[in-house]
Amino acid sequence: MMFTGTLITANAGCGKTYSLANRVIGWMIEHRRLTQNAGAADILAATFTRKAAGEIQDRILEHLALGAMNPKALKAFNDENAFKVDPPAAAEDLQGVLQDVVKCLDRLQINTLDGIFHRLAKGFPEEVGFPEGWIIADHPVLASIQRQAIDDWLESCGADEIETLAIEAEGEILKGSPHGTIIKTIWGGPKGGGLLPLWRRSQVGNDNHDPWEWIDGLTDDVLCSDARRATATKLASAANTLETLEIPLTKAGTEVKAWVKANDRMIQAIRAGFWSDVLTEGIVVAAASGGKFAGHFVPADFETTLRPVISHARADLVRRIRLKIKIWRELLGELDHAYQSRQREVGMYDFSDITDRLARAEILNDLGAEQLAWRLDSAIRDMALDEFQDTSMEQAHIIEPVIEEMLAGQGAHDTPRNLLVVADPKQSIYAWRGGTPAVLDWLERLGQGQIKTADLHRSFRSAKRIMDFVNSVFENMDTNATLNIAAENHQAVPEAIMKQAGLEPGDPDGPVAEVRNRWVFTHHESAKTELRGGVQAWLTSKDKDEVFDHAVSIIKRRHDAGVGVGVLCPTNDQVSELCHRLRCAGVPVSEEGAGGASEIPAVSVLLDVLRLGDHPGHRQAAFNVSHSPFAEAVGLDAIETLPWGDRDATLEHVSNTIRAAIADVGLGEYLAELVRGVEEQCDSREQVGLRLVTELAASWTTADTRRLGDFIAIIEDTGFGEPTPSPVRVMTQHAAKGLEFDEVVLPWLDRPLVKGRAIPCLPWSKDPLDPIKAIAPSFPEKQRVHAPILEAFHNQGYAAEMEDTLSLLYVSITRPRTGLHLMFQPPKKDERKSVTAALFLRSAIPAIDHKIDTVDPGSETPFWEFTDSDWPTAADSTAAADSPPPTPVRIAPIGNRAKVVTPSSHEGTGTFQERFRLLPGRARRDGVILHELYRAIAWLDDGPPSEADVERAFNEAAIQLGRPVGSDLRASLTERFHKSLTGEVGSALRRGAHEAWNAVTLEALPEHPILVQLDSGMLRGRIDRLVLGRDDSGAVTHAAILDFKTGKVETQADRQAATEWYQPQLDRYAEGIAAVYNLPPEAIETGLLFVQ
């Protein structure tokens, strides 16, 4: 059997998805020529997001339809040998493949890796240890299970054990609110960092080795040289001697103040037995490293006196290293057991649980291809893996047997088998969840020469100026001065120490050298040589508010020029704040960050009220509430003014009062009352956020839990963004991957390239995809001077984060088609000691560094430009010329690929959005149900819906909502529905409403779907009610588009505002209907039907 394997490494914008779709089509053509069937259901195509998986399927269908129906398109495909078939593809080939694909659309295996692993786990529930009927749960539900697991664990702990955890582990495990701290530490946050994932990952591939016991096998001298305890007498003598030693002098002959203060602190720490403070004192660090403190080397008499002190403190450090890893090892084992028990009890898991179980079970190692196909009800003949650089060790471990089986030519296949892997290692930005570009080297080693390699280096996205700038930034990384600074600050652990600890030495030049070796950059070219573009550098202020204002100014100018702008921010709170300021400046914006409402200050304090109600010991929440406008409502004075002995009783009383009030009136009404008391003090953004919380609270049920913390978790998990089709799109840099924009603005470049992730334990492995060999506790840098082997663990984390951040910068500057705007802050006094993206760019482009001092911050003109002479223009249109007339599309767009938009995204902008938009919760629920009831009406002239129709409407609504409609709600909405039929809504549902058309026949189409290609993109949506008027030949002569609005409007002004708000949406629908039925604009009516 013949096998073909290909690894394509592609630069940004070079057509990775285009190439993958065409290769898959080529496989199907070859298979159909051999077997008379494309065998589409036996091809597995995997990527990392549902959006990307959908795009792969769309591209496959689109290219098949183009090649089958458009001779010019087919010739273009064959001229570039896109399908890699011999002889070249004929229209009949593509028509046949398209027919085969359409017949098995429901069996296509185009999915995310998570989705594929979910299928595997469903097919092997016993082997992976899942209970019958298990499901994937959302984050708030899992957070509730995590809290329950913590409670189970705490109840099983004795008082002595908790004291050890809290005191001996230096308070890292239990501090503040136990649930909040432990959940973040154990399970991690949005950017990973949890210890439980590390605990589980450490068990993959380590059947006969426990990396958590690595430290147990080391002697004290290997962990920390010269670690010996001294007698109390000797330590007291050293402290006394330090009081008598001469302090280094300044040039003026006076004692150096820093030395005096440091020596006093050191003496106090020795006498108090605070050995960690001793080790981190500047004089001790200088003595241990041979460096200077406050400009002076440590005098010999100080070194002699400190020697027994340092040895004793190091012995205590060894004790703490061993104790901390022991505590974490025991705690994680117990918590993992408690969590798994709770999960199994309720049958709820997340995708990371699936990956972990599959990787540890190694079920694919023991199965043949035939048995795997039988379990999954589908075979895997060919496989295409997209964005492979984001694959983690566990994911690679799971799919390894499938790749090995293909390489070995095994399986019940009598036709050639194909493997395609597409990746860009420079876009690997998910190291925090285990993704690593090292997986590409692993794949080549696994292939043993059977996998060919190919490159894509021409960008079909960006102008030549953009690509030239990218080349200038990354082609000279070996000499980049900022990376040189980082290399000086992060040295390699000496080879002898590594070998003594049983660890393979890394690059002798340190972690930065490893980054430079692994982060491989190849020259970029642009296929858009005719496209004008450029890069501009702007100098902003160090003041946060002024940075926001300057960014708004730049974005507004480009928006007013008719240019689409993508604004990429490091954090979600920056996304939210910038969007708010852009709206205040009159710029319509699409907010696409994942930031939650809890990031709004007023909402955060409102949640603190609930945190205090959930836990009277939550001092931070109590402090915040006591200094907020909510303080009077809950009866809490400023917490620092309360008598110390009365604080606990006062907070317990307030907590009980909050819970009692919620029990009396319900969570929704309680929060609504609080919000009414402070609403006038909030800005519009805060008001909308508070209303969102109260709306969700009104629909929240305590059927499954009585913990207020569970509701808080829901709010923290609720996105506050408002995506729209606005030409200005604001999002995080991570969210921009896979997207492109006319121009890109990067407002926050002055952030560290490596921030360091706070995690109590760190792993070490020779290669990112090797099983973890050792795990060590994390200690501050000044303490690691005394235990240098710990630096090896931090160095690996440092290198991984730097690779990630460089890749994120690469992703950010390769998103624009024509323009890139870089915002720098003024140079700082000691900036060369830090490593930021701004400094990295300034080192790469010396002209930026030379000119940054030549302009005042906030200037309305860039201080540096790298642009074509005729850029920027008013607008750089990327629309295809000579677009075909709009035609209905059923499978995929015919012609040039276009953006898909929904009419609802064309709603207007302005403050009315904050007053009228339907928020998640009760309003959305009522709207779904009422829409289904109106859908049951063709013409009211024929009578109201029957009981059977009403029953069917409620059943359909229940399916959409995911829960039955309660009897009280059912009665209320039924009454509301019938009442609306007696007014203007009822009149609009009668034939007489369209009498003026003089149509021969009238046709009512409730909930009518529409999908049509327009000049501005693909229109996809659903019209609440479409009425068509036809003449005696059956041709459509008139149309009415009616949109039901279930939100409440109380005044004529509200009605007018709503009409203006939704008119762009209705106009968009009208444009689509005009295209489908070839109607002039004056033959189409639009209108809103207000139900309440």
Place of tokens 């010999």: 300
d(CA 21, CA 15): 10
Which tokens hold the place of 444?
């080549």
Crossing angle of helices 113-123 and 369-376, rounded to 10°: 90
Other C-beta atoms within 10 Å of 139: how many? Answer: 13
Which tokens hold the place of 705?
């839990």
Other C-beta atoms within 10 Å of 1088: how many? Answer: 20
Which pLDDT score, from 0 to 100, does residue 923 have? 58
User: Using an 8 Å Cβ cutoff, are 753 and 621 in contact?
Assistant: no
Which tokens hold the place of 687?
């008001």
The pair phi, psi for residue 43, each rounded to 5°, is: -105, 125
Which tokens hold the place of 325?
């890893």
Which tokens hold the place of 766?
């020779």
DSSP string computed for 917-951? PPPTTHHHHHHHHHHHHHHT-S-GGG-SPPHHHHH
User: Using an 8 Å Cβ cutoff, are 667 and 711 in contact?
Assistant: yes
Would you call 1089 helix, strand, or coil by DSSP? strand
Which pLDDT score, from 0 to 100, does residue 915 have? 29
Q: Where are the alpha helices (DSSP H) in 1003-1048?
A: none
Would you call 622 helix, strand, or coil by DSSP? helix
d(CA 666, CA 517): 60
User: Using an 8 Å Cβ cutoff, are 384 and 23 in contact?
Assistant: yes
Q: Which helix (H) or strand (E) holds 817?
A: strand 816-824
Q: How far are the Cα atoms of 184, 639, 658, 685 from residue 601, in angstroms, in the given order?
A: 21, 19, 20, 10
d(CA 907, CA 726): 10
Residue 247 carries which DSSP code? Answer: P
DSSP string computed for 543-586? SHHHHHHHHHHHHHHHHHTT--EEEEESSHHHHHHHHHHHHHTT
Crossing angle of helices 481-489 and 511-518, rounded to 10°: 140
The neighbouring-strand residues paired with 463 are 528
Reported as half-sphere exposure (CB side, CA atoms, 13 A), residue 740 has a value of: 17
Residues with Cβ within 8 Å of residue 978, at least 6 apart in sequence? 944
Q: Is the preceding omega at residue 629 within 30 degrees of 0, hence cis? A: no
Cα angle 1052, 1056, 1060 (rounded to 5 degrees) comes to 170
- Residue 85's closest CA among 349, 416, 564? 416
Would you call 91 helix, strand, or coil by DSSP? helix
User: Using an 8 Å Cβ cutoff, are 919 and 695 in contact?
Assistant: yes
d(CA 44, CA 61): 16
d(CA 804, CA 793): 17
d(CA 931, CA 908): 22
Residue 752 carries which DSSP code? Answer: B
d(CA 53, CA 115): 10
Would you call 706 helix, strand, or coil by DSSP? coil
DSSP string computed for 325-359? HHHHHHHHHHHHHHHHHHHHHHTEE-HHHHHHHHH
Which tokens hold the place of 717?
């998990």
Residue 132 carries which DSSP code? Answer: T
Which tokens hold the place of 283?
């004089």
The neighbouring-strand residues paired with 554 are none
d(CA 989, CA 248): 94
| pLDDT tens for each residue of 562-578 | 999 999 999 888 888 89
Number of alpha helices (DSSP H) and beta strands (DSSP E) in the chain: 43, 26
Parts of the chain with a pLDDT under 70: 1, 159-181, 190-192, 366-371, 375-376, 409-414, 593-599, 684, 701-706, 717-722, 757-758, 831-833, 873-924, 959-964, 1011, 1013, 1015-1018, 1020, 1047-1050
- What sign results for the dihedral spanned by CA atoms 474, 478, 479, 484? positive
User: Using an 8 Å Cβ cutoff, are 528 and 460 in contact?
Assistant: yes
Residues with Cβ within 8 Å of residue 402, at least 6 apart in sequence? 364, 372, 380, 383
The neighbouring-strand residues paired with 464 are none
DSSP string computed for 362-398? TGGGG--HHHHHHHHTS--SEEEE-SGGG--HHHHHH
Ramachandran bin of 354, using left for φ above 0, alpha for ψ from -120 to 50, beta for the remaining angles: alpha
d(CA 468, CA 533): 11
Q: Where are the alpha helices (DSSP H) in 243-280?
A: 257-272, 275-280
d(CA 427, CA 738): 10
Ramachandran bin of 188, using left for φ above 0, alpha for ψ from -120 to 50, beta for the remaining angles: left
Q: Which helix (H) or strand (E) holds 1017?
A: strand 1017-1030
The neighbouring-strand residues paired with 1008 are 1023
User: Using an 8 Å Cβ cutoff, are 37 and 484 in contact?
Assistant: no
User: Using an 8 Å Cβ cutoff, are 142 and 348 in contact?
Assistant: yes
Cα angle 718, 724, 725 (rounded to 5 degrees) comes to 150
User: Using an 8 Å Cβ cutoff, are 906 and 1069 in contact?
Assistant: no
User: Using an 8 Å Cβ cutoff, are 965 and 958 in contact?
Assistant: yes
d(CA 113, CA 391): 9
Q: Where are the alpha helices (DSSP H) in 475-543?
A: 481-489, 495-500, 511-518
Residues with Cβ within 8 Å of residue 945, at least 6 apart in sequence? 933, 936, 937, 953
Which tokens hold the place of 409?
């030519």
| pLDDT tens for each residue of 5-31 | 999 999 999 999 999 999 999 999 999
Other C-beta atoms within 10 Å of 890: how many? Answer: 7
d(CA 641, CA 650): 12
d(CA 533, CA 528): 10
Q: How far are the Cα atoms of 424, 499, 506, 520 from residue 510, in angstroms, in the given order?
A: 25, 16, 7, 17
